[in-house]
Structure 1
């Protein structure tokens, strides 16, 4: 490995490179001794040998979208996989071999000419690696399942420095862990082999925006309507500040937005899919309404980019629950109304996958409840860090007693030592610990961040 690929603490480039390792402008105050920027899969193997020879623990990143900066640890080695961006598509086999640094929007763009698609993450700049390792709740996951369910095999480098291929038939235990272990995975995945799906020929979106004061009635109506939507429709609540186009008021009121996106083989099919939302008994109370609006993956990614803009500071947490959306959102609404930043939101997607627990069979990832909420604190001024992080913790505290677990990809693992364990079923957690002891007995890889 050339010295040009290694940045050491104290080097003139260190601070700039370290800043790049986390997409979030809220940077963790943790400092690895060495950052290795891999340019090939061979570099990964050499980095592991170097770490072992120096007694350095290893953390891994690809896109840097961990809100808490989980890969950035004090001491040790950080392996940066963002430069590994090869994507090889086999349209006849309907598969793709994808390196960890490929982003969701890039993958979508490379698959589209073949009429193929993949349930990539909602934010286009998220790399496939951390997304898939954590489970992957992305576009059209109600029909296609979590992203990791479409991973056929992986290629990885284990703690002993050996490259291995893993699938349901080769090293199945490590393959099971790779589909859900997230930031606690104890190997470096250098390539994902993906099953692909038909590119939806039509994507339509229906959106209603209501004053936040209407939350109770809106939640009851939308939940009943969503129960009649097919799995190919992705629906969600968003509690936050109105877009300028949503209200003629001179100020931007707090709102509850209901969005449903249909992925279908034709426009007619998409229109039929959205039928349960065609009429709304509360329509006269809506601030705005759009029905059956055509959209594209590019537009969906652009919209998500406005929710999570670059150059901002973010803190996020997640909660699975078996209580109703109406119960959860009623508890959360007062915190949204008083949020210190108007960019902060609560997102509550309907995950049909959570109702079909078989979609996450044979993988570490598991949907842990019937409902799911995720508060996002988003702000820009560093002086407001404590205020906004406290808002996030207080907001989560209002619903956490109703929780059944967390989603490890976006959970605030620093909020409590139990966060990582509560992101898995008890059986999955015990199995992960046993597999870590087997594959990484010396603890070469950092485990879950807790502080």
Structure 2
């Protein structure tokens, strides 16, 4: 097939650099308002799954590398590269739910919160991402740290099968038995994955019908003892309770000179089937003594997934600019958050936060088996710089990177979905165990021997 005939068979929108609409499409490639100065040669918004094969053939014929986006939530802008083709799968957003078998088949552009809403109609659920606008494609490829992961595991643990288009245009059904190497890589390889997944078949869960939340707010100065208390309490919580620590600015307005009331918030949400069950699951938060007096406390408040998504929207507002990084560590949360708290006290934006999900990802037998994703430490922290004014890009990115440098000596790895791959070329390698990294290179050589797909992003992204 010639290059021209391949392009003519693409049903979706094809834009070249310089075309009308190109810059708008480039800016919309990322959810983040901080768009890096990188420009693909072509941007293609696929209209159907068949477009994927045609795009790969055109790219191969022109000697262009391919990057893929589903929802564009990569903080460092992994899908946006200089040169090559950006293949936009956001238009592939359908799903089919089989309530009888508690499974679903979803396309990569499906939005997690919309999918969750539809599952609820069938009394089913899935550990979708916490931010409501995250698409399932990149989320599942990166592992997927989502709702109720202490009980259900990471999102990719529920992937039963993927349909993947390889660099030579083959459409492969990948399971633990068929193309097991590619299936393994599709569960955790993240933005360096070397094929295009057009469908995921997912295992679903019964929908928890009663959710309840307990939250306590303390002064930032108390972060060390509060983190120790939360960590000890988490050990007594059942697996269906999700507990996190958040360093935030109370009443943040987003202005650089905004409110200075820095706090640490402990939040625990129980996913249960009746309110008394949820209250019982949250009981350790009431029964364990803590010498620090909270500024405020709400106990056992009934909530819903819609309310949780609304809170996440407040935490990560649209039309803002973001920089983020991650760190797995064997150090205690108290040590990590005390150090990050010192940095957070100087955060230039009132909207910036530091998140520490204390509840462990489920490591039940089988849930972390046969996947590139792995838990790389007992503690996990994610600092986010969040601001709105482009004039403040430099100071906010600098703050984020200095905050991470303060705790990086304690690091044992990163989470590939959210780490700043531009900060250090070794970030990608350190997001996997040594054995998994070596296996990824081997599987890549098998399924993408000519290197059609871009590997992991590295290099400059935004101000240093």
Distance change in 2, residues 1:386/1:328 (3 Å) = same
1:62 aligns with 2:70: yes
Is structure 2 residue 298 aligned with structure 1 residue 290? yes
Q: Where do residues 359-370 of structure 1 align in structure 2 (5 Å cutoff)?
A: 359-370=367-378
| Cα offset, 1:106, TM superposition | 0.8
| Equivalence map 1:389-408=2 (5 Å) | 389-408=397-416
Does the alignment pair 1:313 with 2:328? no
Q: Please, which moves more after superposition, 4-13 or 326-335?
A: 4-13
Unaligned runs of 5+ in 2: 1-8, 460-464
Matches within 5 A, 1:25-424: 25-243=33-251, 251-279=259-287, 281-282=289-290, 285-353=293-361, 359-424=367-432
**2-structure distance, mates of 1:93, 1:362:** 22
Distance 1:235 1:389 in 2: 28
Matching residue within 2, 17, 25 for 1:9: 17
Deviation of 1:357 (Å):
8.0
1:12-45 C-alpha deviation (Å, 9 max, x unpaired): 1100111110000000100000011101100111
The CA deviation at 1:215 is 1.4
Alpha-carbon distance, 1:4 to partner: 5.8
TM-score normalised by L of structure 2: 0.94
Counterpart of 2:462? none
Report SS of the residue matched to 1:53: helix
Task: Give 5+ residue unaligned stretches, structure 1.
Answer: none
Query: Secondary structure of the residue that 1:352 maps to in structure 2?
Result: coil
Aligned match of 2:5: none
Q: What is the number of residues matched between the two proteins?
A: 447
Measure how far apart 1:95 and its partner are: 0.3
> Following the alignment from structure 1 to structure 2, what is the Cα–Cα distance between the partners of residues 65 and 351?
23
Measure how far apart 1:359 and its partner are: 2.9
Say which SS state the counterpart of residue 74 (structure 2) adopts: coil
Aligned equivalent of 1:22: 30
The alpha carbon displacement at 1:222 in A equals 1.4
CA distance in 1, matches of 2:221, 2:365: 34
Q: Measure the CA separation in 2 of the matches of 1:174 and 1:251.
A: 49
Secondary structure of 1:93's partner? Answer: coil
1: distance between equivalents of 2:454 and 2:368?
Answer: 25
Q: Hey, what's the Cα distance between the residues in 1 that align with 2:394 and 2:348? A: 11
Distance 2:81 2:157 in 1: 29
Alpha-carbon distance, 1:276 to partner: 0.4
Superposition RMSD on alpha carbons, in Å? 1.6
Aligned-pair CA distance for 1:263 = 0.4
Q: 1:252 offset after TM fit, Å?
A: 4.8
Q: Which moved more, 1:275-284 or 1:96-105?
A: 275-284
Q: Is the 1:351–1:371 contact (alpha carbons within 8 Å) kept by the matching residues of 2? A: no
* Secondary structure of 1:192's aligned partner: strand
Which TM-score applies when normalising by structure 1?
0.97
